[in-house]
Structure 1
């Protein structure tokens, strides 16, 4: 006998409001029943694939297929509740279970289950006081990448910019939360639409910056979810304090990532630079587009890929010493996009955020902003440095130039930082291959002891240091 129950309510462990459910009439406990149906993810408006549907306190269960369908046979007659288990619910930090339902011998019930939608979940996860600050929320779980346990004591930091109505002025907003014993975080009261960056910090180690978006193209996505992981065994090999008191670190570990870099047609890109954000670890792709990076910190990290003719690309990866990661990245063609008034306004705020403006006021180095760089009309990046005091630019072959210190007659050492991170040269002069002049928003040049602590490397304190800030870093959405 087929009986259908539509949209069976699901109870969230943290206290959802339950509507009345249609249930069949009581029947004899003897014999067995069966049930089938579909589980829907109302949050993303798609079937919930891979969900475990279990009859509570029994061994009867089933996993949903690609269409969200499930079927469970041999259910004993009597009162039962259904449990839904899925990683999506783990990320949300909720447990879902139906109200008790009666099953009679011979019943064949069709039961449709659904995970609550955006507004319902936000109302469950956030207090009314927090929702009054903003209708959206960001939730997730932070684990230890090496032990899989909750990363207790870590700090989650969300950074975004709020723009004025004309989009000229950006005001930074930061929300942070400590991770407790359950490993979960919940940031409520966020704006309806937002583009931000999420990071996790613990014990001098940090993850890569992961993009977070609220609103989307439809403007209806009020709940974002992002689980992260951070290492507990990685080693800090270098650390320095910035002008603002924050610390920059270089970290090494036992993780490995391999992969392939392709163009939009699926063809390999040769010689693309692949770097793990904030670590200094970098390599170039081989003739078949393959790359390998070793000795990396585990956890949520970000790969940055660059090659002339292509838009710089960032990809989040989950690294583990136990399970090497493999990724395939498709790069898109580089297309300059300029809106002069907006870019100029954003650039000024961006340069202030990274400390450029304050360091320029100190007068300890040589500084070039975008307006000064624009007048140089250079073809290659290195040409921007030709008239900079203390720097020598010489031909290096293959159309590139080698940058050395003019303060040493034999060619003194020069260290580079791009967007605040150390730049490891694969070959002398490779900056001309990976950084376009029109990408550069500002330059800082220091000689020896005048170099700020955050741009010094152990054993290289006497070197000339060139700090490059790109338009992408200064004007990026947050």
Structure 2
């Protein structure tokens, strides 16, 4: 055998021995998964997913979920990891991601699925176990001041909604109030609000407050919405011209603008845009545009009304540092065809009204009393009643208030329309009631005299307004 052949065989044997004794390459795996937003029933996009090695605090792998909520790590070294994720939505929920243990021991791919806590889990964690007395819903958020900082003192958040109950007198509308106090960081949880219902909320801390804000609670019972509180100044503004009226408005340094459109995206000309509780109102132009200036800071409700459209409301966060923009989409007013045949229009006698009038615990206006006043606005009906003060409002209308008792300022009474509570916080009754439709009024300016079915916790009395066909209206022709 030649020396060259022997040398080649020896080299081959050495290489084979070295291959048998050298260690195998460590495994490296692919980790893939998705994150589900259990609260909003969709995938969580833009989340930062991290793998932290348990044996090396400095080794952290990161990636981001795509538009489908999917993430993937390629070529992950063998080892034990803790997996979690970061996302602003978790911050809004006031929770952190759960950590899952992941062990890479082979080259086989690993599937890792993550999810946010469900609405029911979050409600249970903050409100405790369910009780039959309260609805199973929660309003959760953070109160911050207009400069973005938490309030200097714990804030109070008040939420109100109405419910119905059946009594021997019939169906009654009952106002319900829930109040929560924020933490030092400003977070709060109002428990006991109903799902699929609009609630009216307000936050306040010290001299700062928000406006009254109407918010819908979703079907899962978890409402997430922050509140901004700020300052405002009440001013008396006098119009121009002879006999100009004085208007009371709430002012500040904030501004708001937007566009009112219909559902087809076309601008709505002549829509009345109001900001609840401020006493200000503007009209949209031909392009549907509206604009406010000198508004108070805080979260308020902006409302749009236009002929042929349903009223539309939306929250607006008003800050002095930047102009707020809220576009409003108005839905067409749906006309329902009445399936009942009206055979007479004689007004139904107000038996309960007459019964309470005989008791004499309030002040009562009959149809004749109202006709003698010849009202143009709702304030004309209430003017001169005991305990009532009418304050100038917008467009010649007056706000109906209960006169101060010395402990509180003038305030708006709770309004019941045909026995059902309606939310009119600023005393401007002309927004929803035509004085020509009013048949009778019950006024209870002293809280001690209010009948049980008309009692609320506003501490400002109640006004019960009955509308419908008048007793002397001409009969309908058959």
> Is the TM-score greater than 0.5?
yes
Tell whether the 8 Å contact from 1:92 to 1:225 is kept in structure 2 after alignment: no
The aligned residue for residue 283 of structure 1 is 282
- Residue 170 (structure 1) aligns with: 173
2:49 to 53, 62, 80: 53
Residue 205 of structure 1 contacts residue 236 of structure 1 at CA under 8 Å; is this kept in 2? no
| Counterparts of residues 153-192 of structure 1 (less than 5 Å) | 153-165=154-166, 168-190=171-193
For residue 293 of structure 1, report the CA deviation from its aligned partner: 1.0
CA-to-aligned-CA distance 1:316-356 (integer Å, 9 cap, x gap) = 1223333322222111223477999xxx9xxxx9xxxxxxx
- Runs of at least 5 residues in structure 2 that lack an aligned partner in the other structure: 1-23, 237-247, 341-346, 385-391, 401-423, 446-462, 467-478
Instruction: Specify which structure has the bigger relative contact order, considering alpha-carbon pairs within 8 angstroms and separated by 6 or more residues.
Output: 1
Say which SS state the counterpart of residue 122 (structure 2) adopts: helix
Report Cα offsets for 1:215-237 as digits up to 9, x if no partner: 73xxxx2x3122222234x2332
Deviation at 1:439, TM superposition (A): 10
Partner of 1:261: 260
Q: CA deviation at 1:105?
A: 7.2
In 1, Cα distance between equivalents of 2:339 and 2:93:
39
Q: For residues 11-50 of structure 1, what are the structure 2 equivalents within 5 Å?
A: 33-50=29-46
- Between the aligned partners of 1:211 and 1:165, the Cα distance in structure 2 is 26
**What is the match of residue 150 of structure 1?**
150
For the Cα contact (< 8 Å) 2:214–2:301, is it kept in 1?
no
Which residue number in structure 2 is paired with residue 100 of structure 1? Answer: 101
Q: Is the 8 A contact 1:33 1:76 kept in 2?
A: yes
| Uncovered stretches (5+) of structure 1, i.e. residues with no partner | 1-27, 240-248, 350-356, 391-404, 406-412, 424-430, 445-449, 451-467, 472-478
- The alignment covers a number of residue pairs equal to 360
Give the secondary structure class of the aligned counterpart of 1:89: helix
Pairwise CA distance, 1:441: 6.5
TM-score by length of 2: 0.61
- Matched ranges for 1:384-463 at <5 A: 416-417=398-399, 419-421=424-426, 437=434
**C-alpha distance after superposition, 1:390-448 (max 9, x if no partner):** 9xxxxxxxxxxxxxx9xxxxxxx96522845377xxxxxxx8xx77738977999xxxx
1:39-438 map, 5 Å: 39-56=35-52, 59-73=60-74, 75-104=76-105, 106=107, 108-128=109-129, 131=131, 133-134=133-134, 136-151=136-151, 152-165=153-166, 168-190=171-193, 194-214=197-217, 216=219, 221=220, 223-232=221-230, 234-237=231-234, 251-335=250-334, 382=376, 416-417=398-399, 419-421=424-426, 437=434
Contact 1:60–1:73 (CA under 8 A) maintained in structure 2: no
User: Using a 3 Å threshold, how does the CA distance of structure 1 residues 52 and 373 change in structure 2: closer, same or farther?
Assistant: farther
TM-score between both structures, scaled by the size of structure 1: 0.61
Which residue matches 2:408?
none
CA distance 1:417–1:190, change in 2 (3 Å)? closer
1: CA distance between counterparts of 2:122 and 2:265? 39
For the 8 Å contact 2:370–2:381, the answer to whether it is kept is no
What is the distance in 2 between the residues matched to 1:269 and 1:192? 32
Match of residue 17 from structure 2: none
Flag the 1:78–1:165 CA change in 2: closer, same or farther, 3 A: farther
Asked whether the 8 Å contact 1:145–1:231 carries over to 2, the reply is yes
- Aligned 8 A contact 1:161 1:172 in 2: yes
Residues 162 and 172 in structure 1, CA contact (< 8 A), matched pair in contact too? yes
